[in-house]
């Protein structure tokens, strides 16, 4: 049994400013990796820039990271970062820019390598990474993983290297600009991390501390998610309807709890990895364009049913921590807040074949599972048309 969690985490309001000296200690030329718009809109980018400007630290911003970033994107960005001779990388945004920052930091530190090294098992180190999340789902700020889209294989996969950020600065205020759907999808990703980590080949008592605490925290967020999924009209507000935004539906304390649940869930999967719902999700994200958290959450109830065929006790433990009487109730709740996904019979067959070929992910499931088991999870979770 082992435990390893080398990232220093601050979760508090204004933590970027509060811990500026620590942020500055990781290098003297910064390469900032972020998405197209959101970090500018939610203030996280300006918070970082004001610190770098005040300390006269040179920086370059790469703000062209797409959702589910590709190998091609990180390769292009790493080339720009190398030319700039940055010596540390700051990722700001959702899981996409944070994962991209890790892969970019690896490529920048190893100029002799090309993109092929991302998926080779070699001993390579990366430049230091500082991670500033602005969504409440992936936990990438505390995990060693960096999931990239591999167009050559028409799917997504985490790179072969473990890159833990040196520093994670987690501030719920950056969620103020997030839509209800972004909060819901990313919060469900955090749920998937807790469930898959708790029901996992590598689950142990250390990791239970994180997955079980994350599940009980998530259970407390269920009424909040129900409220925001019902939309602004369902919420009493002193603001007139036209002035309300999704942000008005959440208190500062809610936002901090969403961030905490996400970070704790990240700490859980950092010890185990994710499992079958994530493996199947990569197919419907790549092919159907379903956002990551929704793509994972839609499979959770059926995954738990499958698991319960071998170990009902652990599944009941997960349900009781969440406060749901049965997997049917959990599944109905998730469908209500997420909606449904439709695929064809041919896609169902293809996705089952691809998951069966993913032997490393299959090994995360503690029992034997055959293709029929995978098809059962898919069929119970999605609408399938001819
Ligand atoms: P994301 O793909 O990073 O971002 C989704 C969208 O949300 C983007 O359009 C982004 O806009 C916007 N956005 C981000 N923060 C916002 C905010 N505060 N307000 C308003 N809009 C905001 O979403 P994600 O779900 O966080 O990350 C998903 C990725 O993480 C997937 O590739 C998944 O595979 C990966 N992942 C990694 C791990 C891990 O352990 N490393 C775990 C789970 C998932 P901009 O583009 O303008 O920024
Ligand atoms: Zn995930």
Smallest CA separation from ligand 1 atom 17, residue:
178
- Residue 26 and residue 166 in contact, taking contact as beta carbons nearer than 8 Å: yes
Same domain, 350 and 319: yes
Same domain, 54 and 171: yes
**CA–CA separation, 281 vs 153, rounded Å?**
15
Specify if 44 maps to a domain: yes
Same domain, 302 and 373: yes
The CA-atom distances, in angstroms, between 208 and each of 54, 188, 204, 301, 320 are: 42, 19, 6, 20, 14
Same domain, 49 and 138: yes
Contacts of 248 (CB under 8 A, 6+ apart): 232, 235, 237, 239
- Residue 38 and residue 95 in contact, taking contact as beta carbons nearer than 8 Å: no
Distance 215 CA to ligand 1 centre (A): 21
Minimum-distance ligand 1 atom for the alpha carbon of 35:
48
Distance 278 CA to ligand 2 centre (A): 6
pLDDT at residue 106, as a whole number = 98
Pocket of ligand 1 (CB under 6 A): 35-39, 42, 67-68, 93-96, 99, 134-135, 137-140, 143, 145-147, 156, 174-175, 177-178, 182, 186, 189, 292-293
Each residue of 318-344: b (16+ CB within 10 Å) or e?
A: bbebbebeebeebbebbeebbeebebe
Q: Please choose, from the candidates 236, 260, 262, the residue with its C-alpha nearest in 3D space to the C-alpha of residue 249.
A: 236
Q: Are strands 167-170 and 342-344 parallel, antiparallel or unpaired?
A: unpaired
Give the total number of structural domains in the chain.
2
Same domain, 23 and 137: yes
Same domain, 263 and 130: no
Q: Please choose, from the candidates 284, 301, 386, 300, the residue with its C-alpha nearest in 3D space to the C-alpha of residue 341.
A: 284
Three-class DSSP category at 313: helix
Specify if 1 maps to a domain: no
Smallest CA separation from ligand 1 atom 20, residue:
178
Looking at all shown ligands, the one closest to residue 159's CA atom is 1
Smallest CA separation from ligand 1 atom 27, residue:
95
**CA–CA separation, 40 vs 46, rounded Å?**
7
pLDDT at residue 2, as a whole number = 87
pLDDT at residue 246, as a whole number = 60
Here the CATH number for the domain that contains residue 155 is 3.40.50.1970
Minimum-distance ligand 1 atom for the alpha carbon of 293:
25
Same domain, 162 and 184: no
Same domain, 258 and 166: no
280 pairs with which residues across the strands? none
Specify if 333 maps to a domain: yes
**CA–CA separation, 102 vs 35, rounded Å?**
14
Minimum-distance ligand 1 atom for the alpha carbon of 147:
34
Angle at 277 between CA 273 and CA 279, to 5 degrees: 70
Minimum-distance ligand 1 atom for the alpha carbon of 179:
20
Smallest CA separation from ligand 1 atom 9, residue:
67
Of 155, 175, 195, the last residue of a domain is: 175
Smallest CA separation from ligand 1 atom 12, residue:
38
**CA–CA separation, 38 vs 149, rounded Å?**
21
Same domain, 347 and 224: yes
Distance 266 CA to ligand 2 centre (A): 9
pLDDT at residue 237, as a whole number = 46
| Domain that residue 99 falls in | 8-175
Specify if 3 maps to a domain: no
Specify if 112 maps to a domain: yes
Distance 39 CA to ligand 1 centre (A): 11
Q: Which two tokens stand for residue 182?
A: 């972004």
**Positive or negative: CA dihedral 80, 82, 85, 91:** positive
**CA–CA separation, 152 vs 121, rounded Å?**
19
Smallest CA separation from ligand 1 atom 46, residue:
35
Q: Please choose, from the candidates 257, 178, 277, the residue with its C-alpha nearest in 3D space to the C-alpha of residue 216.
A: 257
Intervals of the chain under pLDDT 50: 235-244
- Threshold 0.85, pTM exceeds: yes
Minimum-distance ligand 1 atom for the alpha carbon of 38:
47
Looking at residue 70, the DSSP 8-state letter turns out to be B
Same domain, 107 and 34: yes
Specify if 2 maps to a domain: no
Here the CATH number for the domain that contains residue 279 is 1.20.1090.10
Q: Please choose, from the candidates 351, 192, 345, the residue with its C-alpha nearest in 3D space to the C-alpha of residue 277.
A: 192
pLDDT at residue 240, as a whole number = 46
Distance 33 CA to ligand 1 centre (A): 13
Of 122, 154, 175, the last residue of a domain is: 175
The CA-atom distances, in angstroms, between 131 and each of 171, 232, 313, 357, 362 are: 11, 31, 37, 33, 30
Radius of gyration for the alpha carbons in the chain, expressed in angstroms and rounded = 20
Smallest CA separation from ligand 1 atom 23, residue:
94
Of 175, 209, 228, the last residue of a domain is: 175
Same domain, 104 and 194: no
Q: Are strands 147-150 and 155-158 parallel, antiparallel or unpaired?
A: antiparallel
Q: Which two tokens stand for residue 381?
A: 């979770």
Minimum-distance ligand 1 atom for the alpha carbon of 148:
32
Same domain, 204 and 302: yes
């Amino acid at each position: 049994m082992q435990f390893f969690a080398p990232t220093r985490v601050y979760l508090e309001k204004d933590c970027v400013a509060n811990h500026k000296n620590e942020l500055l200690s990781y290098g003297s030329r910064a390469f900032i990796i972020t998405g197209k718009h959101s970090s500018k809109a939610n203030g996280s980018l300006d918070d970082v820039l004001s610190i770098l400007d005040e300390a006269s630290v040179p920086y370059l911003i790469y703000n062209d990271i797409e959702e589910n970033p590709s190998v091609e994107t990180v390769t292009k960005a790493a080339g720009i970062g190398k030319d700039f001779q940055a010596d540390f990388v700051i990722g700001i945004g959702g899981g996409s820019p944070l994962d991209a920052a890790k892969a970019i930091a690896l490529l920048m530190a190893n100029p002799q390598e090309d993109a092929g090294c991302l998926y080779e098992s070699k001993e390579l180190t990366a430049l230091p990474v500082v991670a500033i999340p602005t969504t409440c789902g992936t936990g990438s700020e505390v995990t060693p993983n960096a999931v990239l889209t591999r167009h050559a294989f028409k799917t997504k996969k985490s790179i072969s290297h473990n890159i833990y950020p040196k520093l994670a600065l987690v501030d719920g205020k950056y969620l103020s600009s997030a839509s209800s759907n972004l909060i819901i999808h990313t919060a469900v990703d955090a749920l998937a991390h807790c469930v898959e980590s708790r029901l996992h080949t590598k689950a142990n008592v250390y990791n239970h501390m994180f997955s079980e605490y994350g599940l009980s925290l998530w259970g407390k967020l269920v009424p909040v998610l129900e409220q925001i999924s019902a939309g602004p009209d369902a919420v009493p507000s002193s603001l007139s309807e036209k002035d309300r935004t999704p942000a008005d539906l959440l208190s500062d304390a809610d936002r901090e709890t969403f961030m905490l649940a996400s970070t704790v869930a990240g700490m859980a999967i950092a010890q185990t990895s994710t499992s079958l719902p994530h493996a199947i999700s990569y197919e419907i994200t790549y092919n159907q364009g379903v956002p990551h958290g929704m793509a994972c959450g839609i499979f959770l109830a059926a995954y738990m049913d499958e698991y319960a065929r071998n170990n009902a006790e652990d599944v009941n433990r997960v349900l009781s921590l969440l406060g749901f009487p049965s997997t049917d109730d959990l599944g109905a709740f998730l469908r209500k807040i997420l909606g449904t996904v439709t695929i064809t019979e041919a896609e169902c067959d293809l996705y089952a074949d691809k998951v069966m070929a993913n032997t490393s992910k299959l090994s995360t499931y503690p029992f034997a599972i055959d293709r029929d088991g995978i098809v059962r999870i898919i069929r119970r979770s999605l609408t399938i048309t001819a």
